[in-house]
Amino acid sequence: MLPGIVLTLVSEPSFKTIIEPFRIHSVEPMRMTTRAEREEKLAKAAYNLFALHSDDVLIDLLTDSGTGAMSTEQWAALQRGNEAYAGAPSWFRFRDAVHDLFPFTHLLPTHQGRAAEKILFTVVGGPGQVIPNNTHFDTTRANIEFTGAEAVDLVIPEGKEPASRHPFKGNMDVAALRSLLETRSADVPLVLMTITNNSGGGQPVSLANLREVRAVCEEFGKPLFLDACRFAENAWFIKTREEGYADTPVADIVREIAALADGMTMSAKKDPLGNIGGWLALNDDELAVQCRNLGILTEGFPTYGGLAGRDLEALAVGVHEAIDEDYLRYRIQSTSYLGEALEAAGVPVVVPFGGHAIFLDARALLSHLGPLDYPGQALACALYVEGGVRSCEIGQVMFGLGADGVEREAPMDLVRLAIPRRTYTQSHIDYVIEVVTRVHARRDSISGMTITSQPPQLRHFTATFAPIS
């Protein structure tokens, strides 16, 4: 065991079955497809899984973003939605629910996380600026680079090793941050921390690391912002892995995280259990004025910010359901259930298991392919053909194309099996385990991919591919 890991009993000790802490309230039928059908659909989609009709997907693990199931309380709250243009009661309920956990002075709702990023980086970015993060998410990096600024990833070295068992692989390399600030302080408008570190495998950040980052930020007079999409999962990892937090309520851990920051961007399609939504929150009055004015241009009046009143209501409920400890225990255990089964079957997976997803190490699994054969894309396509499981490449396709248009080797080639919240049961996951295991067994027969067309940014969404024969 690594130092600093505390073993905590996270479930009722006498039962090994993971109980989904909800019963099914309404159902959405799924359509079965044949292998031949899937091969045809995939070829028609030019081997880009984003181009599939989702009806042709059986188990959709493309993303956990906006794909979760809402609760009866959230559906009931929708009925309370008030659609007044300005100052609707739905806005005040949303504001109070967010403030209870993240008491930043200014709160600007947005239609999703990237809209908050777009606003923030339009104001603080620009040519010559540099924004450090543990690992920038794809939309964050793209929004920063779009302004001409530079996005720098400074995760600890263990965060780039799929097999390292460090309990907080999302931590920032504090020495690297310090050395960046020592040389380029004037170019750094703010420091960002992504919790959990999505692109790095859904890995958490410890409170100890956040405190150290905060101290360096204070030393150089820089604000610290959170990209806090998975704040609740990160807080659960702190509770179960970081010394001294086993008895702290998750809500208090979240407040402790918030107290270390000066602001945040949020995609409410993640932990806040919404199908749409996001926000930007911050303490700086002057920066808030600029962000609010920009938000009015693109998102709308600041008491609705791109969202219907009913969406604000659903989020006000969801943000608190996200920190329910029975829910979080189930959420994290059910994700590890998938990871443990795959690891036991000899499939190379990123360890320790992240909160929202299991990441397959495609570079290790398809070791006969080089990074420019796009092993992650090849593996994701194989999972779809095998059993109708849709996953997402996070590797050379997503990160290999620089802002200068030059292709460089990405640090890892992962395939993400993202688990939508409260959506699939254990038998669905058992099926996924079978599909991945079968693909693993025939891995030597999987060929690489080539890109046949691509846009200059965020190419994974719309690029087209062909298998190398």
CB of 138 to ligand PLP, least distance (A): 8
Which pair of tokens denotes residue 255? 């407040």
Query: Any idea which residue has 């989702």 for tokens?
Result: 54
Task: Return the residues of window 76-115 that contact ligand PLP according to CB under 6 A.
Answer: 112-114
Q: Closer to ligand PLP at the Cβ: 354 or 375?
A: 354
CB of 286 to ligand PLP, least distance (A): 25
Query: Any idea which residue has 């979240």 for tokens?
Result: 254
Q: Closer to ligand PLP at the Cβ: 166 or 230?
A: 230
DSSP conformation class of 300: -
The stretch near ligand PLP (CB under 6 A) out of 132-140, 167-175, 284-292, 388-396 is 132-140
DSSP conformation class of 178: H
Helix (H) or strand (E) holding 452: strand 449-453
DSSP conformation class of 71: P
CB of 469 to ligand PLP, least distance (A): 35
Task: Return the residues of window 148-167 that contact ligand PLP according to CB under 6 A.
Answer: none
Which pair of tokens denotes residue 89? 């009661």
Query: Any idea which residue has 């777009």 for tokens?
Result: 118
CB of 198 to ligand PLP, least distance (A): 4
Q: At what angle do helices 309-321 and 89-101 cross, to 10 degrees?
A: 30
Assess contact for 396 and 363: CB atoms under 8 A. no
The stretch near ligand PLP (CB under 6 A) out of 42-50, 136-144, 394-402, 423-431 is 136-144
DSSP conformation class of 36: H
Task: Return the residues of window 205-234 that contact ligand PLP according to CB under 6 A.
Answer: 227, 229
Q: Closer to ligand PLP at the Cβ: 48 or 267?
A: 267
CB of 201 to ligand PLP, least distance (A): 12
* Sequence-separated (6 or more) residues with CB below 8 Å from residue 441: none
The stretch near ligand PLP (CB under 6 A) out of 134-142, 312-320, 321-329, 383-391 is 134-142
CB of 359 to ligand PLP, least distance (A): 14
The stretch near ligand PLP (CB under 6 A) out of 5-13, 31-39, 135-143, 242-250 is 135-143
Q: Which of 194, 203, 206, 335 binds ligand PLP (CB under 6 A)?
A: 194
**H runs (alpha helix) in 345-425:** 362-365, 375-387, 396-399
Task: Return the residues of window 10-69 that contact ligand PLP according to CB under 6 A.
Answer: 65
CB of 132 to ligand PLP, least distance (A): 15
Name the closest residue to ligand PLP (Cβ): 113
Assess contact for 228 and 268: CB atoms under 8 A. no
Q: Does 460 bind ligand PLP (CB under 6 A)?
A: no
User: How many angstroms separate the first and last alpha carbons of the chain?
Assistant: 45
By rule CB under 6 A, what string of x and - marks binding of each residue 249-288 to ligand PLP?
------------------x-xx-------x----------
Q: Which of 198, 203, 206, 209 binds ligand PLP (CB under 6 A)?
A: 198
Q: Closer to ligand PLP at the Cβ: 270 or 440?
A: 270
Q: Closer to ligand PLP at the Cβ: 113 or 348?
A: 113
Q: Which of 91, 137, 337, 353 binds ligand PLP (CB under 6 A)?
A: 137
Alpha carbon 197 to its chain's center: 7
Q: At what angle do helices 89-101 and 250-259 cross, to 10 degrees?
A: 90
Q: Which of 140, 143, 171, 336 binds ligand PLP (CB under 6 A)?
A: 140
Q: Name the β-bridge partners of 358.
A: 417
Q: Closer to ligand PLP at the Cβ: 205 or 229?
A: 229
Tell me the residue length of the chain. 469
Annotate 90-105 with b (16+ C-beta within 10 A) or e (fewer).
bbebbbebbeebbebe
Q: What is the full DSSP assignment across 246-258?
A: TTS-HHHHHHHHH
| Half-sphere CA count of 211, side-chain side, radius 13 A | 5
Q: At what angle do helices 231-241 and 325-344 cross, to 10 degrees?
A: 80
Q: Closer to ligand PLP at the Cβ: 299 or 373?
A: 299
Query: Any idea which residue has 């600007």 for tokens?
Result: 108
User: Residue numbers of the site for ligand PLP (CB under 6 A)?
Assistant: 65, 112-114, 137, 139-140, 194, 198, 227, 229, 267, 269-270, 278
